[in-house]
A and B are shown apart, each in its own frame.
Chain A
Amino acid sequence: MLAKRIIPCLDIRDGQTVKGIHFEGLQNVGDPVELGRRYADEGADELVYLDISATVEGRKTFSELVARIAREIDIPFTVGGGISTAEDAGALLLAGADKVTVNSAAVRDPGLIDEIAGRYGSQFIVVAVDARMDDAGRWVVTTHGGRTPTERELFSWAREAQERGAGEILFTSMNHDGTKSGYPCETFARLASELSIPIIASGGAGTVEHIAEVLTAGRADAALAASIFHYGEIPIPVLKRALHERGIAVRL
C-alpha cells in the first residue's frame, strides 16, 4: 500500500539552513546535508530544500550544495527557490535533484511547466501554489510568499498546472501558514477530487491531529512542514508512529 509521505522543508540561505534547533549529536545544525541526513535517519520520506538566498553568490553556493546533497542523501529530494527557466531546472537535475518546485515563475509564465515537464518529465516538476481565501470565499493565488495577489484562482490554476504537465501540486494556504491551527481540509479534499496527481499539504500544522486530518479527510498524499520539525515540536518518529496508530499507512 502506498504510504503517506512526511516531508521536512529546509530553507537555505547562502548554503546554510536558516532555521534549526540543536539536535542532539548533530555537529552543525546549519549544515543542510547533516540536517537532511538526520531527518532521513529519523524516517523522513523526502526532503525539500528551498533556496532563499537573495544574491547571485548565494545561488551559486546552492547549486554546489545540491550536488553534495545528492552524493550523501539516499532518499528523494526536491529543490526550489529562484527557478525561472527550464535551464535552471536542468542544471539542478544534472546536479542530482530528483524534483524541482516552481511557484511564482510558473504563475508569471505557465509555459515554464510545459517546458520543464516536456524536457525532463512530469515526475521532475512540483508546482507550488500559495493561495489566500478572500472575503468572498474565493481562493486567490498569490506570489512572492503570499504578498502579491494574482488574477488566478486556486482550483482552475491547479487543474491548468496538471494539464501542462505538473507531476505534483504543493498547496499552501496563506490563511493558515504559520498559524499552527491546522489545514483547510475541505479545500484539500476538493483539490483531490479535481486533480489526478498527488497533492502535498503545506502550512498550518501544529499538531499530529492536524496532519492526520489532512492525510485522511483532506485526502492529501503528503504533508510538508518546517518549524514543527526544526524546533523539535513534533519529532518525525513520534509523528509517524502516531499516524500509524491512527491506521494511516506510513513507512516506519
Chain B
Amino acid sequence: MVTIIDYGTGNLRSVTNALARLGADYILTADPEAIRQAERVLLPGVGEAATAMRMLREKGLADTLRNLTCPVLGICLGMQLLCTHSEEGDTDCLGIFPNRVRRFFSGSAGGGLKVPHVGWNSIHSLKSPLYHHIAEGEYVYYVHSYAAEINACTAAATDYGGWFSGSLHQDNFYGCQFHPEKSGAAGGRILANFLSL
C-alpha cells in the first residue's frame, strides 16, 4: 500500500495512474496519523516550492515527514521539498537531503540554456536500489526550472548546462527530480523498484 501525500498542490492523476498500471494499491491523504502508519510514502509535487512548503506546514506534515522511517519517495517538486532550501520563493524545505535547490541559469536568449528543462535526459552514476536493472545513461523525462546540486546523496546525475542531482538517496528517503510516472518502461521499472524496497 502506497500512501500518497495529498497536500493540495497540483494534479496527482499521473502518479495514481502509474501506480494503478503497476497493480499497486494506494491511498491519498493529508492526515498525519495515517502517514505515520504508512508502509510506503510518495510525496508528489507540481507547483511552487514556497507555496507547497506552506501547505505542508499548515497541514502539520513537516515533522511527520521528517520522522518517517518507511521508504519515502519525493518526485519532482516533492524531491526538492526534501532538500534544505529552495531558491523558488526563497523557502526553507524539510532538510532531509543536505542539498540546496537553485534555478537553472537561462542566460540571454539564444546563447543560454532553455528553461524549463523539458524532455528526456540521461541519468548517470546510478547508485541506489531504485536503479536496479536500470542502465547507465538511461533516458528519463524531466520538466523543471530548479535543480538540486550534486553531493554525497546524489543517486543519479544529469547534465543540463552542468551536472545536477537527477535523484537523491539517504537512508529511507529517495527522490527523483524526473517523472518516473512519465518515463516509459524505465520509469515503470524505477517505480516498481521503489515498491519492492
Contact = CB atoms under 8 A, between A and B. Distances in A.
Given A93-B11, A94-B13, A168-B118, A121 B46 contact: yes
A59 interface: no
Contact of A194 (B11, B109, B160, B179): B109
Given A74-B181, A196-B110, A221-B114, 14 more contacts: A1-B122, A2-B120, A3-B122, A5-B120, A70-B13, A71-B17, A74-B21, A74-B183, A74-B188, A94-B11, A98-B14, A98-B182, A193-B109, A198-B118
- Most chain B Cβ neighbours within 10 Å, of A72, A121, A195, A251: A251
A133 interface: no
Interface residues of B, number: 35
A160 to B, nearest CB: 14
A45 interface: yes
Nearest to A192: B110
Contacts of B185: 74
Given A96-B17, A121-B46, A197 B139 contact: no
A2 B106 contact: no
Nearest to A43: B184
B182 A75 contact: yes
A196 B11 contact: no
B117 A195 contact: no
Interface string B58-96: 000000000000000000000000000000000000000
A5 B143 CA distance: 14
Interface in A1-22: 1-3, 5
B11 A2 contact: no
B134 to A, nearest CB: 14
Contacts of A122: 116
Interface in A206-252: 221-222, 251
B51 to A, nearest CB: 12
Nearest to A90: B11
B119 A2 contact: yes
Interface residues of A, number: 32
B109 A75 contact: no
B117 A74 contact: no
Q: Which 7 A-B pairs have the closest CB atoms?
A: A251-B139, A193-B110, A3-B120, A96-B13, A196-B109, A251-B120, A123-B143
Contact of A221 (B119, B141, B182): B119
Interface string A48-74: 000000000000000000000011101
Nearest to A249: B122
A71 B20 contact: yes
A122 B118 CA distance: 11
Interface in A69-116: 70-72, 74-76, 93-96, 98
B109 A96 contact: no
Contacts of B47: 121
A9 to B, nearest CB: 17
A102 to B, nearest CB: 17
A203 interface: no
